[in-house]
Amino acid sequence: MRVTSVCLIVGLLSACGPSISDSGSSGVELPPPGAATEATREANQSLAQRLPLDQPDDFDDAYRGWLASIQADAITNAEGGVVWPIRQFDFLQDDAPDTVNPSLWRQSKLSAHHGLFQVADGIWQVRGYDLSVMSIIEGKTGWIIVDPLTTTETAAAALKLVNDTLGERPVTGMLYTHSHADHFGGARGILSEDDIAARNIPVLAPVGFSKNAVSENLIAGNHMSRRSTLMFGNTLPRSPLGHVGSGLGPGLPNGTISLLLPTEEVGGRGTQRLIDGITFEFIDAAGTEAPAEFMFYLPEKRALCTAEVATATFHNVLTPRGAKVRDALAWSEAIDYVLEAYGARSDVVFASHHWPSWNADNVSTFLRTQRDIYRYVHDQTLRQANAGATITEAAEMVTEADFQEDAFDSRGYYGSLNHNSKAVFQYYFGWWSGNPSEYHKLPSSETAPRYVAAMGGADATLQLGQTAFAEGDYRWAAEILNHLVFADPKNTTARDWLAASYEQIGFQAESGAWRSYFLAGAAELRRGLPNIGNPSLGNAEFLRAVPSLDVFNAMAARFNPTKLARAPFTIVFDFTDTEETISLHVGPSVTVPRTSNHENPDARVTIARADLDRLILQEVSAPELLLNGYLKIDGDQSALVSWFATLDRPPFWFNIVTP
């Protein structure tokens, strides 16, 4: 599946308000797209003067141990399509232009430095060819791969760089530190099931990995993936006017996501495993950055891997693409645990993103700062909330911590204090502030025309937005102008001014995710939804690793009861290749899949699970499978047709910045 569709497996089976004129002006001139206003220039210059951006330690660490880089122009797929242009971030030179937050520019330069780097004796990393980092540990007989990147193409290219530079060795182990696709999606570029079975290769992951790797990318996939296109700037050019980096890494490759299920899921803290002669000591960190995650310590090498629990940025307590809100207190406590247990006996700490830190003092300082930023946003949000602050008020009052001034790894290059504070509030109190007026709000498409009318009509609303823009008050301008756009999406003047407001917010953003989200929103207002067709909706390499019950749960989440034009029924699926049986109970309001064998179903379907995957991926039709004997239906054949007919096929490019 294409990386723009990390969460799109759910899509595999796949009223405006009154018209308002474009007239009205306050005399404020609309800036041309791509131009930083004076307010933006001043904001970025002020930050540059306040922060020690020329502090060299991060650059020393990010460049330390470089051995080689990929010399080709691009990493490509089997058809020759470009997955990752090698020099796409070469523009990140010199000082930041006016259109980029100077702190984000610094972080992006560090993340874009690419190649194979030695971390310690017997430990290397490949960085700069993906959002994430692949670590390589030398075992007695081969390579132990940690986090095989997002796509099969980038993973294979990374392994080739390792073998070409260090000498070819077999892969003798693989670890997934957590359940996000940029840490397992390239697995089939490294190994196959046949390799694992033939050579008994351990593939280790944290407890709950298989369930969570599938659920986050499956059931809520269509919506999450659509928002990911804004968060990661997939539709933006790589330039000082567009995407400069995500803050967590350079960006997402446009390749094929796969999945190999682990041979063992490891839990506990201090649990040891011997992999190809190397001792791994695992530290469970579930419920922090991911629902399933572990860190590990290598005692023979005095090296600590913090996975994505501690990296060179303040992370997301709730990601803009959408996910289950994370526990900032548990996150802080997990880091404190490894600080106490391993800090003083670690000569290096490395992670699944960014670059390592060396020597025990620096390791402890890094862990302490990472611990403190999650504790700080947690405690200060709760302090404000318990004094009566609403979700928005609390976020505004949680200001920058003193240590963030020069501890760059605690700055909000990916997450931010503002939206992470809101996430902490949500974790404890839910999605609303407690004010009754917010509990049963009208949708924006209904309230927007009323707001516009209350502000004196379209012309007056536009002038208010223009005035706010002229004063550099872009957040207020965006709020005003958004009402006008939602009241009349065809009002091109309002759209242009809202786009200009989003653009200036993006130009000032220190978070790469914020920047991309606002700039992509501006682009959609100006040009409409991207005219690039639907993203590639998946491939068998990912889907065949998904447990059958999860596949049916994902389909059940698309069940539309209004499309059921018959009495309830039951279908039993017998999979000939996996020897599984799934019973599907289709009722008037819900569909309930079970791993059981219903005795008297309305229909019994006999099919290979691999052929069901092909059917889901629309690589083959049901009549073709029936004709060739790959599909057999005993009983009421119309039941299967009725079931598929009830499934909605949601569009991917649904509107977000307009109604």
Average pLDDT, integer, range 429-455: 93
Summarised one tens digit per residue, pLDDT across range 392-413 is: 999 999 999 999 999 999 999 9
Residue 5, pLDDT score = 37
Name the pairing type of β-strands 171-175 and 143-146: parallel
Tell me how far apart the 2 most distant CA atoms of the chain are, in Å: 75
Name the pairing type of β-strands 115-120 and 603-607: unpaired
624 CB-near residues (< 8 Å, 6+ apart): none
The three-class DSSP label of residue 469 is helix
Average pLDDT, integer, range 546-571: 92
Angle between helices 102-112 and 38-50 (to 10 degrees): 70
Average pLDDT, integer, range 330-348: 98
Look up residue 425 and give its two tokens.
Answer: 């509030």
Instruction: Read off the amino acid at residue 525.
Output: L
Residue 28, pLDDT score = 87
In angstroms, the CA 142 to CA 173 distance is 8
Under the banding of pLDDT at 50, 70 and 90, the label for residue 2 is very low
Under the banding of pLDDT at 50, 70 and 90, the label for residue 66 is very high
574: closest CA among 601, 543, 538? 601
The secondary structure of 516-555, three-state, reads HHHHHHHHHHHHCCCCCCCCCCCCHHHHCCCCHHHHHHHH
Q: How many CB atoms lie within 10 A of CB 517?
A: 25
Under the banding of pLDDT at 50, 70 and 90, the label for residue 545 is confident
In angstroms, the CA 498 to CA 493 distance is 9
Residue 10, pLDDT score = 32
Element (H, E) at 203: strand 203-206
Look up residue 19 and give its two tokens.
Answer: 């018209």
Q: How many CB atoms lie within 10 A of CB 345?
A: 12
Under the banding of pLDDT at 50, 70 and 90, the label for residue 547 is confident
User: Above 90 in pLDDT, residue 618?
Assistant: no
Half-sphere exposure of 67 (CA within 13 A, CB side): 18
Fold designation for 3-16+26-30+56-387+397-429: Metallo-beta-lactamase; Chain A (3.60.15)
The three-class DSSP label of residue 116 is strand
User: Above 80 in pLDDT, residue 4?
Assistant: no
Lowest mean pLDDT among 6-15, 58-67, 81-90: 6-15
Look up residue 474 and give its two tokens.
Answer: 């872009």
How many helices (H) and strands (E) the chain has is answered by 21, 21
Under the banding of pLDDT at 50, 70 and 90, the label for residue 385 is very high
Residue 599, pLDDT score = 86
Judge whether 231 and 252 are in contact, CB under 8 Å: no
The three-class DSSP label of residue 608 is coil
Look up residue 12 and give its two tokens.
Answer: 């595999």
* 503 vs 223, higher pLDDT: 503
User: Above 80 in pLDDT, residue 420?
Assistant: yes
User: Above 90 in pLDDT, residue 634?
Assistant: yes
29 CB-near residues (< 8 Å, 6+ apart): none
The three-class DSSP label of residue 102 is helix
Determine what percent of the chain is predicted with pLDDT higher than 90. Answer: 84
Residue 462, pLDDT score = 97
DSSP letter assigned to residue 311:
B
For the chain, how many residues are written? Answer: 659
In angstroms, the CA 395 to CA 350 distance is 31
Domain 547-645 listed as CATH 3.30.1050.10: yes
579 CB-near residues (< 8 Å, 6+ apart): none
User: Above 70 in pLDDT, residue 259?
Assistant: yes
Which whole-number Å values give the CA distances from 555 to 271, 541, 650, in the listed order?
37, 19, 12
Under the banding of pLDDT at 50, 70 and 90, the label for residue 9 is very low
The strand ranges marked E within 207-290 are 264-266, 269-275, 278-284
β-bridge partners, 208: none
β-bridge partners, 66: 117
In angstroms, the CA 516 to CA 243 distance is 6
In angstroms, the CA 63 to CA 69 distance is 12
Judge whether 522 and 495 are in contact, CB under 8 Å: no
Average pLDDT, integer, range 211-240: 86
Look up residue 149 and give its two tokens.
Answer: 């990147």
- Domain boundaries for CATH 3.60.15.30 within the chain: 3-16+26-30+56-387+397-429
Residue 27, pLDDT score = 78
How far, rounded to the nearest angstrom, does the alpha carbon of residue 555 sit from its chain's CA centroid? Answer: 22
- Domain boundaries for CATH 3.30.1050.10 within the chain: 547-645
126: closest CA among 136, 118, 116? 116
Look up residue 399 and give its two tokens.
Answer: 């200001």
User: Above 60 in pLDDT, residue 20?
Assistant: no
The three-class DSSP label of residue 581 is strand
Judge whether 152 and 171 are in contact, CB under 8 Å: no
User: Above 60 in pLDDT, residue 17?
Assistant: no
Distance between start and end Cα atoms, the chain = 29
* 226 vs 268, higher pLDDT: 268
